[in-house]
Structure formats: C-alpha cells, structure tokens
Amino acid sequence: MSPELRQALVRKAMAARRQAYAPYSGFAVGAALLAADGRVFAGCNVETASFGLTLCAERKALTSAVAAGRRRFQALALAADAGTAPMPCGACLQVLAEFCGPGLPIIAAWTRDPAHPVLTTLG
C-alpha cells in the first residue's frame, strides 16, 4: 500500500473521529475501512451510559460495509486523540477476523502526529 493511500485513509478516519459521540470516556475514535473494490467506509464510536452497548468505530465501519454488500477488505485506518496509537478492542478484533485475514493492514494514528501512524496487521 502506498504512503499516499495510507495517509488518505488516516484523513478519512480523522474526519470520522470528529463525529464521534464519547461523552463518558472522552475517547473519540474514527475508522476508515477500505473495501476490495476501493470504496471506503467510515465509522466513529458512539457511547451510551451502558458501556457494554457502546459501538466502536471499527465495528461501525465494518457493519456499514457489510450492509452495502461488501465482504472483502484491503486495510483499516484508526484515529484517536491518545498518547499512543489506538488499537481495536477484543470485540472489534473478533468481528474483523470474521471478514478479514490476519494480513489485513491496520494503520493506527493519533491526532498529535497523524503523519507517523503505527503500521501493524490484524494477525
């Protein structure tokens, strides 16, 4: 994946992060999931007073993609205002594993330094 494509996905994740609803944790997260056909699906976290019912950005992006008929994916970008790069929680990892192989690139960026994201894979 080219550096330009990585940065474009980070920008989309940053834009999605701005729409997050995180009044309880203050931890706003955005995600941008690149489908195999090149379409990008964005998601942001939406918290509720019952944290178990909170929707994570990653699962929101993935379920939007599935609702649009997509089942294959090329990469996932995450963005958060944190001291370290955001990583998917256990529930998100499980849902991602249902649709993506261990080689799925994950690009994790924080708002203070979006030009230097952490690159890892789902595996």
Q: Which residues are catalytic?
A: 58
User: What distance in Å separates the CA atoms of residue 73 and residue 36, rounded to the nearest whole number?
Assistant: 5
**HSE toward the beta carbon, residue 54, CA cutoff 13 A:** 25
User: What distance in Å separates the CA atoms of residue 70 and residue 109, rounded to the nearest whole number?
Assistant: 25
- Distinct helix (H) and strand (E) counts, the chain: 3, 5
Amino acid making up residue 21: Y
User: What distance in Å separates the CA atoms of residue 82 and residue 101, rounded to the nearest whole number?
Assistant: 27
